[in-house]
Amino acid sequence: MKTEITVSIDPGYRYCGVAVFSDEVLVTADLVEAKKWEVEAQQFAETAKCVWEFLETTVDKASLSAAQFAIEYPQQYTFSPAPREAVQRLVGTIGAILGKVQSETSGLSVRVSTYKPREWKGQVPKEIMAERILSRLSSDEVNVIPAMSKSKAHNVTDAVGVGLHHLKRLKRKRVARQSNKAAG
């Protein structure tokens, strides 16, 4: 039986959260950090190279060539304080990563899905979403997430969240409320 690999990415200009699932089970997740370049095109290429090197050391190339990729795709919201340039940089980073993956794997069987933040996490506050993501993982899966500062950990948690959403493991669990009649 063939193993199904899913790679999920929370893209960043220099820091990308990357999570790898094997048969829908999280097997590794980490923060990939790229060297800083002043020229944007060099930064895109460097970040893509670092993501590829991470993947190459964790997943065999044959599996990567048939992997599913789930990537958070940025969106510029009308009243967002984020500068448009920052969103454009993320789009450039995504393109560079996918270009690198496709060139290294011959790319014909790599499947890519993108999810805007509102599609996979809605408007749930970061802390609550992080708790929800971790609650969907087994203890073995939680243990593969490395400890790091809060400012960097959210990238990894979001990468895991995008992967869980893609695999349909992040759906909100409904809790039945007790009615006043039943409580009284």
- Residue 179 within any structural domain of the chain: no
- Residue 78 within any structural domain of the chain: yes
Judge whether residue 179 has pLDDT over 70: no
- Residue 146 within any structural domain of the chain: yes
pLDDT in tens, 90-125: 999 999 999 999 999 886 678 999 999 999 998 899
How many Å apart are CA 154 and CA 171, to the nearest integer? 19
Share of the chain above pLDDT 90, in %: 73
Judge whether residue 184 has pLDDT over 70: no
Of 68, 65, 69, give the one whose Cα is nearest residue 102.
65
**CATH code of the domain in which 47 resides:** 3.30.420.10
Split into its structural domains, the chain has a count of 1
Q: Which residue has the higher pLDDT, 134 or 171?
A: 134
- Residue 180 within any structural domain of the chain: no
Mean pLDDT within 55-66? 90
Residue 167 is encoded by which pair of tokens? 């695999």
Cα radius of gyration (the chain): 18
pLDDT in tens, 36-47: 999 999 999 999
Spatial strand order in the sheet of 5-10: 25-33, 15-22, 5-10, 68-72, 111-115
Distance between the two ends of the chain, CA-based, in angstroms? 55
- Residue 181 within any structural domain of the chain: no
How many Å apart are CA 147 and CA 152, to the nearest integer? 10
Instruction: Write down the pLDDT at residue 2.
Output: 75
In this structure, are residues 72 and 115 in contact, taking their beta carbons and an 8 Å threshold? yes
Domain range for 25 = 5-173
Of 23, 47, 5, 10, give the one whose Cα is nearest residue 157.
10
Instruction: Write down the pLDDT at residue 85.
Output: 86
- Residue 107 within any structural domain of the chain: yes
- Residue 182 within any structural domain of the chain: no
How many Å apart are CA 168 and CA 123, to the nearest integer? 18
Residues 6+ apart with CB under 8 A from 94: 9, 11, 71, 73, 114
- Residue 36 within any structural domain of the chain: yes
CA angle in degrees (0–180, nearest 5) for 132-128-143: 45
Strands, E, within 13-170: which ranges? 15-22, 25-33, 68-72, 111-115
How many Å apart are CA 147 and CA 30, to the nearest integer? 9
